[in-house]
Amino acid sequence: MSGGERAPATDAPPRATPIAAGEPMPSFRLPAVTASGERIEVTLDGALAEGGALFLFYRDDGMPLCTRQLRAFAQERGTLRAAGVLPFGINTNGLGSHERFQERDRFPFPLLSDFFGEVTRACGLWDEDERKARRALVAVGRDGTVRHAEPHFNPDNLAAFEALFAALGLA
């Protein structure tokens, strides 16, 4: 590739409908920021290396409802880890925004930057009106198959948490 070209984050095409349980999670490669501010690269295979993964799609860094969403899963990280599930935040904000958000809140999981929305669209979680990710959850098993998807997640809805934990065998 020449200097102005970039590799797409995923080869999967955009979806018109949200990804659902039983479907394969699109393979991807995205930059991310850890709680310590380190910039890393995350792939689907890497995210699944220790077991399952929980992708927390959220709209914007620092927004109150998005912050509550990520904090809720930060609090449950030990429970998720015990079940072999690693959480990852993902949205279309850039790495600089993620760095400021991590500096402020120090989420104990990486925040992935899907800056061009390619992975979000491949999961069918793009909000065309807002031009960003919907607030959603996608739990993926070690084999890359979606175990649970909540395409319209509200962190104030206890039933959504219960459904996720049941799908992960934690309830």
Containing 32, the helix (H) or strand (E) segment is strand 29-33
At residue 3, the pLDDT reads 54
Can you tell me the distance from the alpha carbon of 153 to that of 134, in angstroms, rounded to the nearest whole number? 8
CA-based nearest residue to 35, from 103, 86, 97, 114 = 103
Mean pLDDT value across residues 145-169 = 92
CATH topology assigned to domain 29-167: Glutaredoxin (3.40.30)
Strand partners, 39: 33
At residue 171, the pLDDT reads 67
CA-based nearest residue to 19, from 92, 119, 158, 91 = 119
At residue 50, the pLDDT reads 84
Q: Summarize the chain as % helix, strand, coil (round to 5).
A: 30, 25, 45
Residue 49 has pLDDT above 80, yes or no: yes
Residue 111 has pLDDT above 90, yes or no: yes
Mean pLDDT value across residues 61-69 = 93
Contact criterion met (CB below 8 Å) for 30 and 12:
no
Residue 22 has pLDDT above 60, yes or no: yes
Can you tell me the distance from the alpha carbon of 166 to that of 150, in angstroms, rounded to the nearest whole number? 13
Mean pLDDT value across residues 95-116 = 96
Residue 4 has pLDDT above 60, yes or no: yes
Place 1 in a pLDDT band, splitting at 50, 70 and 90.
Answer: very low
Residue 93 has pLDDT above 90, yes or no: yes
Whole-number percent of the chain with pLDDT over 70:
97
The answer to pTM > 0.75 is yes
Structure token pair of residue 118: 């390619």
Structure token pair of residue 20: 């659902």
> Cα-flanking dihedrals φ and ψ of residue 44, to 5°?
-60, -45
50 CB-near residues (< 8 Å, 6+ apart) = 84, 86
Can you tell me the distance from the alpha carbon of 69 to that of 167, in angstroms, rounded to the nearest whole number? 18
Mean pLDDT value across residues 10-16 = 95
| CA angle 138–139–141, rounded 5-degree value | 140
Contact criterion met (CB below 8 Å) for 52 and 141:
yes
Local structure of 21: helix, strand or coil: coil
